[in-house]
Amino acid sequence: MKVLIINGPNLNMLGIREPDIYGKETYATLETICRDAAKEFGFDTAEIFQSNHEGAIVDKIQEAYGTFDGIVINPAAYTHTSVAILDALKAVALPAVEVHISAVEEREDFRQVSYPGMACFATITGEGLDGYRHALQVLSEHLLAER
């Protein structure tokens, strides 16, 4: 099983600013959490990709077609704006889980819509960086049940 983990804009700043919302852990820690959890839940390959550019994220999702079995995605601010990322997820039709570090449902009105989430079979919010471990567990269970 191969998983692609995608992180959107500014998540590379984790641990540097806004620790009250996103915690004190750095992006490097997030990568370690993802690699360890991917192994734990039976993924042979876990590629972790971060970009601040919408088109680069769309390109990466397209490249996943035929290469990866599933996607875990935190589109960050593009969550609330990007029909392009939604369309890319729909186009590749890979099982995808959306993850957010914060409890977006308890935040501002503009965070109450998720376009990419409309193409995801599960959404995990408000669990901090552990949410990525949870997302990988949910994706693994889904892929194993599909076999």
Binding site for ligand CA2 (CB under 6 A): 10-11, 13-14, 16-18, 22, 74, 76-77, 79, 100-102, 104, 111
Angle of the 54-64 helix axis to the 83-92 helix axis, nearest 10: 10
Check if 65 is active-site: no
Pairwise CA distance, residues 133 & 125, whole Å: 12
Chain centre distance of CA 20? 21
Which one, of 120, 113, 24, lies nearest residue 77 by Cα?
113
User: Please, which residue, 17 or 90, has the CB nearer to ligand CA2?
Assistant: 17
Minimal distance, residue 82 CB to ligand CA2, in Å: 11
Exposure of 54 in the CB half-sphere (CA atoms within 13 A): 13
Order of all β-strands in the sheet with 122-125: 45-50, 2-7, 70-74, 96-100, 122-125
**Active-site choice (22, 78, 115, 132):** 22
Cβ of residue 76: shortest distance to ligand CA2, in angstroms?
4
Residue closer to ligand CA2 by CB (options 104, 120) is 104
Q: Which residues contact 133 (CB under 8 A, 6 or more apart)?
A: 33, 34, 36, 37, 40
Whose structure tokens read 């959404």?
A: 123
22 is catalytic: yes
Q: Name which of 18 and 44 has its Cβ closer to ligand CA2.
A: 18
Point out the catalytic residue in the list 27, 100, 115, 132.
100
Least distance (Å) from ligand CA2 to the CB of residue 144?
26
When the beta carbons of 82 and 143 are compared against ligand CA2, the nearer one is 82
Instruction: Give the residue closest to ligand CA2 by C-beta.
Output: 102
Return the active site residues: 22, 100
